[in-house]
Each structure stands twice: as C-alpha cells, then as structure tokens.
C-alpha cells in the first residue's frame, strides 16, 4: 500500500484543501479498502472534494478478487462530476449517507452505489467512502419495465407498492421526480430531486414534508384541477419546466407526479438566437439603405446631366446596385433573415428593368414561371446580379428594330440543381458579336460564385440564356 498512500498524498495536496491530519486519516482508511472490496464483492473508492467544491476526485480504489470488477482501467486521479454521481456530491456536502443509488461510472457503466461520509478529527467532511456493484442483469430486467412507465397508473402502483422496500424508478434520469399524496406530502423522490431541494433550499428532502414547503411556486399548479399540466417557473435565476401528472383514484395508485426539467440552457440559447437574428436583420437593413443611398446619388448625377454616351453605363450600374438591394428588401420582408424567395427576387428585378422610365416607350412584356424555392442570402446576391445582367442584356440588345418584345424567365429544381432560363423573341444572339461586360459578369459569377455552368445560344426565334448550379454547395 506504500505506492497507494503516496498517490493519495500527491492528489490531496494538488486538488483538495485537506490538512495534513485529514490526509493521514484518508490514508489510514485506504489500507482497508481491499478487504472491504472482497467482503462485499464490489469496487470500493475514496473520493475527496476538490478545491472549488464543485467536483470530487478519486484518491484511492480497490477491486474485488471475489467478483468481476466493474472497471477495466484504474480511476484514481479521475474527477467525479455531480451530473453522473449526484449521491457522492450530496454526501460530501451534507454528511448524509446514500444507499443503493444509481450512478454512471467513469467508463459509462450504470452501477448501484452506496456512499458514506468520512469525517476528520474535527467532525468535518473530508471524503466519501463509495461502494459500487455491477447491476447489468438488473438493468436488463428494468428495461423490460420501461414500457410500463408510459402508463402512469401502472407505474404508480408499482412505486407505491415498493415504497417501503426499494423504488424501481430509474435513478439516473435527468429530471427531478417527486411523488406526492393528496395532501401534497412527499412520498418518493429520486436523487436528482434531492439535489434540487438542497440547491434551492439548502435543506434535506424528507418523506412526509409538503412539497410546497420547498417550492412555494407549486401551490397554484398543485391546486389546479387539470390532470396533466405543464408550466414554466423561475427559481434562483433558473428556468424549469414543471409537469404535473395527477393519477386516478385506484386504491393503490392515488397521488401526483411533479417533474422538474431544467430549461435554463435551452432558454439561454434561444435568447442568443433571437439577439443574433436581430443583429443580422439590422445589418441587412443598413446594407439595403447604403445601397439605396448610392443609387440615389447616381440618379442625382444623371439628373444633373451626363454625356449621352455615358448614360447607359450609369443605368447599368444603377440596376446592378438596385438588384443587390432587392435581395435585402426581400430578406427584411420575411421572418427568416437568411432565406430569399427566388420567384419574388426574379420578379422584382425583372419588373424594375423592363418597366423602368427609360424603357417606357418600348413595348416589352415579361413573364415568370417556377416553383416556390428559397435559397440562402449569399447565393441570392449572385443570382440577383445574374438575372439583372441577362434581362438587361435582352432589353438593351434583343429588340433592336422590333416593335414588340417578349421575355420569359423560367426556373426549376431538378434533384439538387437549379436551372434558370432567360428567353427572348428578339433578333437572336450572335456568337461573333463583341463580348459584353454583362455576359462576362454572368459567366464569372456562375462559375466562380455558384460553381455552376452558363450557356447562351441563338434559338429559332430569339435567344436562350441558361444557368445551372448546385443548391447545396458553398
């Protein structure tokens, strides 16, 4: 045991606030662990509270030679957390014994655990002596009984019938479970419930005590005539979902389950998401306003006069800016700050270009067809610019010498790809024509931003420009 006592000395001095006298007491008890383990056919440990008091650390252990060990690997030096071993932390805090509880081992196994406090010479709690037995066979039997937990009447009958011996409700469930009689007096509670009462009231949870002595906020919930009631309550800056299940008037099953579920972390994440959504929406709003400000400056410059041969470039730049602004307008009009309706976007851009003031004397109509599809805002900006350039290209070049023009924008989703076509009945595309800046922009954005494919070709009557790209690739 010399090596073992040295390990105790090192671990206690490194992780605990125990005095030299306390450490010697722990060493003395540790020498008897092998005999205790063999006699009880169980694994035995000594856990001591860590410096901050939130966890415990295993400082000594012994495996039985008379039975199969629960553990494959040594656990000395490992930390014991309250979520997995609530009985250990409860004993270290209160000095109360805990017998035949369920716990999760360092290796993820479920064991039956008994815990007694180790007291120093000044009657202070310096550690906990823990005994753990493998209950895998019992758990197999318990799994068969899980189906019964769906029927509250059957479950309560089993619970009430075994109250004087051992309850069979799983001890490792996360929720705090209380069972009360018609006068609100506690008849049963699991280890999680014990810890909750201690955390809220710094008191021991006792059978026969009215539950509203510990939780005054439950009075109205218990008095309610509803058999099944769920309500959120706030206790010590934590949010809990309280569920009340009142059982029928069966002779052996008459009472109420009160179940506490901690929703604090969930509500905090929801709050963070709301804040994030508000921030993103504000950013989109500012981007839209800035784009519209730039567009207004361009319009002002055009009204003050620009050379006629430069006017078309101002109009093209203005439409590109307004096409991007359209994305943010649509985002701000929807509840989801990251999704954009493709039909709404294409229609807004197409109408803006075709029915603009500078083209009011030209007889051009435009139609749209496609299913309701939403895309992410980053892709929507690229699509907005692509649609802008293709429609603008039609209006600018396709209908020279033609009295009446027609443009149709089609799109469809096939498997995970989006196909977009812009069709006109104009003079037709000429491959030998000088490449335009607009089509260069389309080609670059389709290939580089959307990882897609762009083609434009002369049709029997007019031109067909096609875009194809995957929807899920970033």
Q: Where in the chain is the domain with CATH 3.30.450.280?
A: 2-134
Whether the full predicted model's pTM is greater than 0.75, yes or no, is no
Residue 172 scores a pLDDT above 60:
no
Say if CB 407 and CB 364 are below 8 A apart. Answer: yes
pLDDT of residue 410: 93
Q: 10 Å Cβ neighbour count for 215? A: 22
Q: What's the CATH class of domain 267-470? A: alpha beta
Tokens of 69: 């060990």
Split at pLDDT 50, 70, 90, the class of 253 is low
Residue 460 scores a pLDDT above 50:
yes
pLDDT of residue 147: 44
Say if CB 469 and CB 451 are below 8 A apart. Answer: yes
Residue 133 scores a pLDDT above 80:
yes
pLDDT of residue 24: 92
Alpha helices in 165-259 (DSSP H): 191-201, 211-214, 219-223
- Which range in 96-110, 302-316, 334-348, 460-474 is most confidently predicted, on average pLDDT? 460-474
**What does the pLDDT average to over 148-165?**
48
Tokens of 133: 């037995």
pLDDT of residue 2: 53
**What does the pLDDT average to over 28-53?**
91
Question: Of 199, 177, 195, 173, nearest to 186 (Cα)?
Answer: 177
Say if CB 126 and CB 95 are below 8 A apart. Answer: no
pLDDT of residue 449: 84
C-alpha 227, offset from chain centre: 31
Tokens of 321: 């800016």
Task: Say whether 45 sits in a helix, a strand or coil.
Answer: strand
Residue 98 scores a pLDDT above 90:
no
Residue 59 scores a pLDDT above 90:
yes
**DSSP for residue 290:** H
**What does the pLDDT average to over 452-469?**
90
Q: Where in the chain is the domain with CATH 3.30.450.20?
A: 138-262
Distance in angstroms (rounded) separating the CA atoms of residues 473 and 451: 8
Say if CB 261 and CB 240 are below 8 A apart. Answer: yes
Q: Which residue has the higher pLDDT, 395 or 56?
A: 56
Q: How does pLDDT run across 254-308, given as a tens digit for each residue?
A: 788 899 998 888 888 888 777 666 666 666 567 777 777 777 777 777 777 777 7
Q: Which residue has the higher pLDDT, 169 or 312?
A: 312
**DSSP for residue 172:** T
pLDDT of residue 164: 45
Longest Cα separation, the chain:
107
Distance in angstroms (rounded) separating the CA atoms of residues 322 and 308: 22
Residue 212 scores a pLDDT above 80:
yes
Task: Say whether 192 sits in a helix, a strand or coil.
Answer: helix
Helix, strand and coil in the chain, % to nearest 5: 45, 25, 30
Q: Which residue has the tokens 């005095």?
A: 19
Distance in angstroms (rounded) separating the CA atoms of residues 33 and 60: 8
Say if CB 370 and CB 410 are below 8 A apart. Answer: yes
Split at pLDDT 50, 70, 90, the class of 107 is low
Q: Which residue has the higher pLDDT, 336 or 267?
A: 267
Distance in angstroms (rounded) separating the CA atoms of residues 422 and 406: 11
**DSSP for residue 37:** H
Lowest mean pLDDT among 56-65, 74-83, 250-259: 250-259
Say if CB 191 and CB 94 are below 8 A apart. Answer: no
pLDDT of residue 431: 76
* Superfamily per CATH, domain 2-134: GAF domain (3.30.450.280)
pLDDT of residue 249: 54
Residue 252 scores a pLDDT above 60:
no
Please, what is the average pLDDT of the chain?
Answer: 81
% pLDDT > 70, the chain: 81
Tokens of 117: 């406090």
Between 1.20.1560.10, 1.10.287.130, 3.30.450.20, 3.20.20.70, what CATH number should domain 138-262 receive?
Answer: 3.30.450.20
Distance in angstroms (rounded) separating the CA atoms of residues 356 and 232: 55
Three-state SS for 263-318 is: CHHHHHHHHHHHHHHHHHHHHHHHHHHHHHHHHHHHHHHHHHCCCHHHHHHHHHHH
Distance in angstroms (rounded) separating the CA atoms of residues 268 and 26: 42
Residue 102 scores a pLDDT above 50:
yes
Question: Of 420, 418, 407, 414, nearest to 455 (Cα)?
Answer: 420
Q: Where in the chain is the domain with CATH 3.30.565.10?
A: 267-470
How does DSSP assign 309-355, residue by residue? HHHHHHHHHHHHHHHHHHHHHHHHHSS-TTEEEHHHHHHHHHHHHHT
Q: How many helices (H) and strands (E) does the chain have?
A: 14, 18
Question: Of 69, 60, 73, nearest to 28 (Cα)?
Answer: 60
Strands 176-180 and 186-189: antiparallel
Question: Of 119, 116, 142, nearest to 129 (Cα)?
Answer: 116
Q: Which residue has the higher pLDDT, 84 or 173?
A: 84
% pLDDT > 90, the chain: 21
Say if CB 447 and CB 386 are below 8 A apart. Answer: no
pLDDT of residue 137: 67
Q: Which residues pair with 418 in a beta bridge?
A: 413, 469
pLDDT of residue 295: 72
Helix pair 377-393, 308-333: axis angle to 10 deg: 150
Q: Which residue has the higher pLDDT, 336 or 27?
A: 27
């Amino acid at each position: 045991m010399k090596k073992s006592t040295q390990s105790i000395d090192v671990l206690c001095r490194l992780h605990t606030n125990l005095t030299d006298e306390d450490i010697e007491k722990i060493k003395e008890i540790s020498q008897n662990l092998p005999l205790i383990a063999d006699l009880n056919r169980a694994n035995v440990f000594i856990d001591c509270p860590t410096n901050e008091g939130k966890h415990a650390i295993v400082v000594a252990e012994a495996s039985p030679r008379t039975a199969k060990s629960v553990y494959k690997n040594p656990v000395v030096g490992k930390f014991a957390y309250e979520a997995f071993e609530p009985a250990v932390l409860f004993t270290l805090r209160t000095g109360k014994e805990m017998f035949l509880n369920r716990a999760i081992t360092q290796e993820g196994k479920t064991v039956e655990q008994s815990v007694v406090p180790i007291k120093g010479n000044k009657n202070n709690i310096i550690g906990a002596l823990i005994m753990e037995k493998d209950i895998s066979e019992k758990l197999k039997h318990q799994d068969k009984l899980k189906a019964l937990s769906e029927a509250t009447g059957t479950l309560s009958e089993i619970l009430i019938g075994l109250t004087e011996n051992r309850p069979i409700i799983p001890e490792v469930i996360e929720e705090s479970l209380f069972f009360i009689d018609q006068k609100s007096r506690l008849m049963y509670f699991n280890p999680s419930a014990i810890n909750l009462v201690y955390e809220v009231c710094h008191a021991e949870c006792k059978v026969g005590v009215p539950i509203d002595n510990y939780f005054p906020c439950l009075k109205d919930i218990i008095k309610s005539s509803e058999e099944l009631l769920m309500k959120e309550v706030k206790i010590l800056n934590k949010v809990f979902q309280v569920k009340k299940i009142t059982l029928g008037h069966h002779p052996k099953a008459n009472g109420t389950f009160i179940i506490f579920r901690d929703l604090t972390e969930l509500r905090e994440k929801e709050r963070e998401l709301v804040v994030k959504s508000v921030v993103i929406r504000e950013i989109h709003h500012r981007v839209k306003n800035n784009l519209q400000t730039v567009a207004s400056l361009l319009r002002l410059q055009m009204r003050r006069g620009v050379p006629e041969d430069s006017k078309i470039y101002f109009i093209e730049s203005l439409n590109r800016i307004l096409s991007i602004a359209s994305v943010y307008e649509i985002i701000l009009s929807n509840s989801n700050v990251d999704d954009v309706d493709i039909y709404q976007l294409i229609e807004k851009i197409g109408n803006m270009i075709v029915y603009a003031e500078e083209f009011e004397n030209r007889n051009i109509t435009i139609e749209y067809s496609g299913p309701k599809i939403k895309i992410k805002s980053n892709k929507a900006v690229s699509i907005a610019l692509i649609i802008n350039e293709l429609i603008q290209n039609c209006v600018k070049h396709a209908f020279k010498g033609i009295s009446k023009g027609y443009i149709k924008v089609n799109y469809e989703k096939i498997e995970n790809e989006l196909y977009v076509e812009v069709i006109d009945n104009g003079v037709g595309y000429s491959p030998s024509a000088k490449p335009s800046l607009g089509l260069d922009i389309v080609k670059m954005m389709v290939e580089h931003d959307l990882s897609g494919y762009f083609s434009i070709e002369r049709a029997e009557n007019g031109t067909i420009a096609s875009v194809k790209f995957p929807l899920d690739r970033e």
